[in-house]
Amino acid sequence: ERTPLNTTEDLNKHYFWDACIIACEAVINFAKRHAELAREMMKNEKNKERKKELEKIAEICSKVPENPANSFYEALQSLWFIHLCIEIENNSFGYSLGRMDQYLYPFYKKGIDEGEITREKAAELLACLWLKFNTIHWITRHSIAAITQTSNFQNVTIGGRDNKGRDASNELSHLIVEVDTALKLPQPTLSLRYHDCINEAFLFKCAEDIATGGGKPAIFCENYAYSVLPLYEVPLEDVIEFAPIGCVEMGIPGKTALFAGCFISLPHCLELVFTNGIHRKTGKKIGIETGEIERFPRFNDFINAFFKQFEFVHHIIVSYFKISQVAIRPYFVPCPFNSSLISDCITKGKDLHSGGARYNHFFASYPVGMVTTANSLYAVKKLVYEEKNISMKELKEALEKNFEGEFKKIRKICLEVPKYGNDIDEVDDMLRDLFKEISEIVMKEKNAFNHPIAPAYLGVTAHYFHGIGCGATPDGRLAYTPFADGSLSAYPGTDKNGPTALIKSATKANTSPAVATLFNIKLNPSIFKSAEGMRKFLSLVKTYSDLGGYHIQFNVIDKKTLLEAKKYPERHRDLLIRVAGFSAYFVDLSPTVQDEIIARTEHNF
């Protein structure tokens, strides 16, 4: 039945559907051009084996993605064409591949059972796909490239449970980890869905990959996702299929429109309280007047002024993003091919960027500097309001002077105040309260599709780039230096009571309803050299999950190696490390980001 063309909405649907057809036909033609090229190359190929390969390539590229795949090779080729064309259409980052070990497993099992493919050949094809992921580069502004360190966040998810609650890992899950371990490539990001009944052999294999130092796979605890996603009206049958999208954000593959938000510096908002709305570095008024800092008689007055500054800044940023959602994205960056693959876009006759997806809930804002802010708020509460070791006027002057000269003694006092990451309830409670209040403020706002904004605490490397624009903070941090990374990672050098204390602090934060948190821990490689060390590591992960954590990732590297790699990069070209929600070659990072990673606390058991 044809849709009547009586209204503007009818016309828009018609144009959208036409665009989807044109885009899909273009992708089919794109694949067939590869088939033609392979046939052309065959004419001059002398090597029999290579000629056979080209013949197979031509055969498969003639078939997929126009037709359903029937073999593992065809499924991988179809997946690659579709993924590549989404990347070409959008020129952006975060396009992730969901639960690859689940949807590819039937093809793998059929091929193995019927003798069509060997395990070794399947590994070779996967390795080729991994190499192709690393050929994708996107064009963007220098500022965005700096924050992402040029990563494009192609996330592959493995593990998890099935719809009956059973462990879903399989032979392909194992093979994916083996290929990732062997290749040591930055892309794709690998994410493990961790749960209570995870297969021990599979978990051990993932731990062996982590032990190589590339920070993969990152670990995502299912219990947290199962408790949070229903808050966004996601039914259980879809929650079961959740996978990290991009960095660490939750999404439902094939059904979600994930709109990246804006990084908002919380320490800057705190600075605005001390300056009554003035940006200290530029002298410009960017906040609201919350009053002279010396006139806050109680800590509650002080912290409420901070929340007002954040709410003001957040509202402005969300307003701009609403404009981009309504007036820019649908008209200037439509994505008919991607939309044709996302549930409900075709039914609604709406582009992904116009609210066509089933879930448009995950437009997020990204508050940055949570731990630096919590440590600072606790320092103000303790030093100014409780112990009265210093006055607010003295603290304000010390921050303005960057703790220099006569104010060095005040910095010493600030640094001595207990910090997050040491299992100290008072400090950890400050971070918990900060998460709660910031999330409530964020969710007061709605996106252009009338859903509450989802709080997402990830940061990427924004902790560095916001940090170098922010003055000194009451925790003793000097001006124009990085904040604590992620959202639950301790400030470098302040987590002194070991990794167990650190994860206990992190899980006290009670970050729900956040759809993303980011937690980095650096471990000494010696941990993984004994069965006892491996057991303790796996016990640490289990404890984090049991206590209600969401995401955790590990850098397994020692400071000596990092310092040597910085000094002699040519000797360490393949040194893969975890930065934020992605891995990268250490020598390719900017020197300042390298320094921040070197400074992170190195834990041992």
**Three-state helix/strand/coil letters over 204-262:** HHHHHHHHHHHCCCEEEEHHHHHHHHHHHCCCHHHHCCCEEECCCEEECCCCECCCCCC
Single out the catalytic residue among 221, 247, 269, 335.
247
Q: Is 247 a catalytic residue?
A: yes
Sequence-distant (6+) residues with CB within 8 A of 95 are 83, 86, 87, 152, 153, 154
Q: How many CB atoms sit inside 10 A of residue 2's CB?
A: 5
Sequence-distant (6+) residues with CB within 8 A of 203 are 194, 538
What one-character DSSP code corresponds to residue 453?
Answer: P
Residues 422-464: tens digit of each pLDDT: 999 999 999 999 999 999 999 999 988 888 899 999 877 788 8
pLDDT at position 141, please?
A: 62
HEC profile of 457-494: ECCCCHHHHHHCCCCCCCCCCCCCCCCCCCCCCCCCCC
pTM for the model stands at 0.94
Q: CB–CB of 554/578 below 8 Å? A: yes
Q: Give the separation between CA 468 and CA 590, rounded to whole angstroms.
A: 14
Q: Give the separation between CA 248 and CA 519, rounded to whole angstroms.
A: 10
pLDDT at position 545, please?
A: 98
Q: Is the peptide bond before 367 cis (omega within 30 degrees of 0)?
A: no
Single out the catalytic residue among 87, 222, 249, 602.
249
* Residue showing tokens 């001595």: 416
pLDDT at position 152, please?
A: 76
pLDDT at position 4, please?
A: 79
Q: Give the separation between CA 38 and CA 350, rounded to whole angstroms.
A: 37
Q: Give the separation between CA 149 and CA 331, rounded to whole angstroms.
A: 29
Q: Which residues of the chain have pLDDT under 70?
A: 1-3, 93, 139-151, 259-260, 362-364
